[in-house]
Structure 1
Amino acid sequence: MRKGFMAAVAVAVLGGGYLAAQAYSSERFDAELTASLEALEAGGDVTVERRTSERGWFTSRGELAISPRLDEGWALQLPYSARHGLARTHISGDAELTVGPDDQALFAERLEAASPRWHAEFDTLSGELSGRLDLAAFESQLEGARLAMRGGHLIVEGQPEDLRLSGELAPWEIFHGQESLKVGRLSMSARYRQAASGRERTQQGRVALDSLSLVRKTDPTLELESLHYQGELTLGAEALQVGGTLALGEARLGGESLLSGELDFSLSRINAEAVRTLEAALEAERARGTPLDALDDAELSALLTRLEPELLALLTDSPRLMLDHLALTSEMLAMDTRLSGELTFDGKDARRLTLAQLGKPKQQRRWLHRLDGQFDWQGVPPLVLMQLGLPMTTERLAILIEAGQASVNGRPLPPLL
Structure 2
Amino acid sequence: MRKERLIAPVLAVLALAWAVAQTVAGLLFERELARAVEDLQARGELSIRRSDVERGWLASHGVLHLSPLFGDAWHVDVVYRARHGVLGTRLDGTLTPHMAPAGETLFGAVEASPPRWEARYHVLSGTFDGALALSPLVFHQQGRTLSLQGTRIAFQGGFGDWRLRARLPSLRLDDGEAQLQAGPVTLESRYAYTEGAYHFTQQDLLKVEGLRWRSPDLVLEADEIRLHSKTLLDERELRIRSELTLGEVRSADQVLLTGGVTAELSRIDADALRELLDGLRREAARGSADTTGREVLADLAPSLRGLLADSPRLDLLEADLDSPMLGLALEGEGTLIFDARDLAALDPLALDSPAERAEWRTRLDGDFLWHRVPPVMALWLGLPLDTRELQIDVVRGEVRLNGRPLPPVLERLL
Normalized against structure 1, the TM-score is what? 0.89
CA distance in 2, matches of 1:116, 1:260: 39
CA distance in 1, matches of 2:336, 2:181: 38
CA distance in 2, matches of 1:145, 1:316: 44
User: What is aligned with 1:246?
Assistant: 244
| Structure 2 counterpart of 1:262, one-letter code | G
CA distance in 2, matches of 1:325, 1:245: 9
- Structure 2 counterpart SS, 1:157: strand
8 A Cα contact 2:223 2:248, kept in partner? yes
| Structure 2 counterpart of 1:280, one-letter code | D
Shift of 1:336: 0.9
User: What is aligned with 1:102?
Assistant: 102
Deviates more, 1:378-387 or 1:52-61: 378-387
Shift of 1:50: 1.7
CA distance in 1, matches of 2:118, 2:167: 17
Shift of 1:249: 1.4
User: What is aligned with 1:130?
Assistant: 129
8 A Cα contact 1:162 1:191, kept in partner? yes
CA distance in 2, matches of 1:143, 1:130: 38
Deviates more, 1:83-92 or 1:178-187: 178-187
User: What is aligned with 1:367?
Assistant: 360
Aligned 1:191-210 pairs, distance under 5 A = 191-210=190-209
Percent identity between matched residues is: 35
Shift of 1:145: 6.5
- Structure 1 counterpart SS, 2:126: coil
CA distance in 2, matches of 1:180, 1:255: 18
Normalized against structure 2, the TM-score is what? 0.90
Count residues with an aligned counterpart: 410
User: What is aligned with 1:38?
Assistant: 38
- Structure 1 counterpart SS, 2:378: helix
- Structure 1 counterpart SS, 2:217: coil
Shift of 1:60: 1.0
Structure 1 residue ranges without an equivalent (≥5)? none
| Structure 1 counterpart of 2:61, one-letter code | R
8 A Cα contact 2:241 2:264, kept in partner? yes
| Structure 1 counterpart of 2:114, one-letter code | S
User: What is aligned with 2:300?
Assistant: 307
User: What is aligned with 2:221?
Assistant: 223
Deviates more, 1:343-352 or 1:362-371: 362-371
8 A Cα contact 2:38 2:196, kept in partner? no
8 A Cα contact 2:239 2:268, kept in partner? yes
CA distance in 2, matches of 1:146, 1:271: 42
Structure 2 residue ranges without an equivalent (≥5)? none
| Structure 1 counterpart of 2:188, one-letter code | S
| Structure 2 counterpart of 1:370, one-letter code | R
Deviates more, 1:302-311 or 1:36-45: 302-311
8 A Cα contact 1:270 1:314, kept in partner? yes
Deviates more, 1:244-253 or 1:353-362: 353-362
Q: Deviations over 1:146-185 (max 9, x none)?
A: 6654302111111121001112011133557765432211
Deviates more, 1:220-229 or 1:23-32: 220-229
CA distance in 1, matches of 2:379, 2:248: 27
Change (3 A) 1:238 1:219: same
Change (3 A) 1:114 1:225: farther
CA distance in 1, matches of 2:376, 2:299: 44
Change (3 A) 1:313 1:178: closer
- Structure 2 counterpart SS, 1:24: helix
8 A Cα contact 1:184 1:212, kept in partner? yes
Deviates more, 1:195-204 or 1:13-22: 195-204
| Structure 2 counterpart of 1:376, one-letter code | L
User: What is aligned with 1:120?
Assistant: 119
| Structure 2 counterpart of 1:136, one-letter code | S
User: What is aligned with 1:234?
Assistant: 232
Q: Does 1:151 align with 2:150?
A: yes
User: What is aligned with 1:376?
Assistant: 369
- Structure 1 counterpart SS, 2:231: strand
Change (3 A) 1:56 1:358: closer
User: What is aligned with 1:340?
Assistant: 333
Root mean square deviation of aligned Cα: 2.8
- Structure 1 counterpart SS, 2:33: helix
- Structure 2 counterpart SS, 1:107: coil
8 A Cα contact 1:112 1:140, kept in partner? no
